[in-house]
Amino acid sequence: MAQRRRRIRCPSCQSLHTVRYGSFSLMRKRQKGKREKRKRWYCNDCQRAFTPYQSPSEYMSLRAYRAVDLYFDSRASYRDVARRLGFHRNTAYRLISERCKNCKTPFEVTVELKPRWSGYLIVDGDAIDVGRGRKMLLLGVDSHSQDILHALLVNSEDGHNWTRFFLDLRDMLGYTPPGIVSDGFPAIIQGIQAIYPHCPRQLCVRHFEKDLTHLLRYRFTQKPGHWRQNKRLLGAVHRMLYAHSITKAQRQLESISVDSGFQQAGFSRIIKHIKRNFPYLVTHHLHPGMPRTNNIVEGVISRLDERIDPADGYGSHQTCWATLKMLIMWYRFKKFTDCRKKNRKNNGKNPLQLAGIDTAGINWIRFSQRIKNQQ
């Protein structure tokens, strides 16, 4: 199918019967001595040549959008953005920071677009250097679309803040997850029990195995002559965690409980710990499609950290949250390119598209700006 040629409306007679009419070079020099070229158009109706007018405010607005796109999508620094666009680095910082401060929050985007999440809720936190201390970014991600449901920047990752996080999901978004996947952090469990007490909960088996390995190696007092039992116990727990059915997992737990070698090595308290958490380690067997790990939310955090880590910290809470708002907006509109195996079908789609939103005609930078200050 032939592509339609672009037309520019004539400013004199408002006709679209126009053709390109060459270009001319502006006298104003740009970066490294390069001159900016402006295209000319000719109207066949009134037989006049004209140059499409671009107001200074429109010019700077387009420059600002280009600067934001370079900073977040290409991971360029302020100096690099300024060098590419031909203005001072302070101007690049001002243009980007103004758009970040005026960016919509993840909650506002959700209310406006109304995505339909069909997967399980996976939660985790990420530490960010702010000023002379650290803040915590609390994230909730849908397991099917990998879209960010909610984000909260708080002073500490305690039970109060996680309760507030789940309370926002329930009361402000009206969201009730079919199940929640998290690591074994006590504050997260406290928040889940306070807001979603009857919701199925899955502990991340990878974190559980990692914490058990650390316990045996560095915090457990080993009895003399039984050091070989450590490796046997870790192997048995691994087979239990990654069993293909709940029946096989229960059989593996029974074999661990009655093993005389483990009893002689003094693993009684550790085995009780495994039994106490066993119902939350096999929840995914009872709910098809529920992940057994929180790898999805950690993958999302890794993508955000690719932009957060080079910043080497933020000066204030407001600056950090403004940047995170725009970064989350960029992520929700960024198409997947490296999905493999069963998720290969997601390549070429962004998280919002997987959540049922048509984003084909939406410019993510223009959409991110609140209407009252939108240019």
Range 306-315 contact pairs with CB under 8 angstroms and sequence separation of 24 or more: 306/75, 307/72, 307/75, 308/128, 310/75, 310/77, 312/129, 313/128, 313/129, 313/130, 313/131, 314/128, 314/129, 314/130, 314/131, 315/130, 315/131
Residue 149 confidence (pLDDT): 94
The per-residue pLDDT of the chain, averaged, comes to 88
Q: Where are the domains of the chain?
A: 1-53, 106-200+290-373, 203-286
Kind and range of the H or E run holding 182: strand 180-182
The position carrying tokens 């004209």 is 50
pLDDT of 182: 95
pLDDT of res. 374: 43
* pLDDT score for 375: 42
Q: Give burial (CB, 10 Å; 0-12/13-18/19+) of 284.
A: buried
**In this structure, are residues 75 and 310 in contact, taking their beta carbons and an 8 Å threshold?**
yes
> What b/e string do you get for 183-207 counting C-beta neighbours within 10 Å, with b at 16 or more?
bebebbbbbbeebbeebbbbbbbbb
Number of neighbours of residue 151 by Cβ within 10 angstroms: 22
Identity of residue 106:
P
Q: Which residues of the chain have pLDDT under 70?
A: 1-6, 24-36, 53-60, 221-223, 225-226, 372-375
Q: Which residue, among 284, 308, 362, 291, has the nearest Cα to 115 in the 3D structure?
A: 362
Q: What is the pLDDT of residue 75?
A: 81
Q: Which of 326, 305, 320 has the alpha carbon at shortest distance from 154? A: 320
Identify the pLDDT of residue 60: 66
* CATH architecture of the domain with residue range 106-200+290-373: 2-Layer Sandwich (3.30)
Measured distance CA(63)–CA(92) in Å, rounded? 9
Q: What pLDDT is attached to residue 26?
A: 56
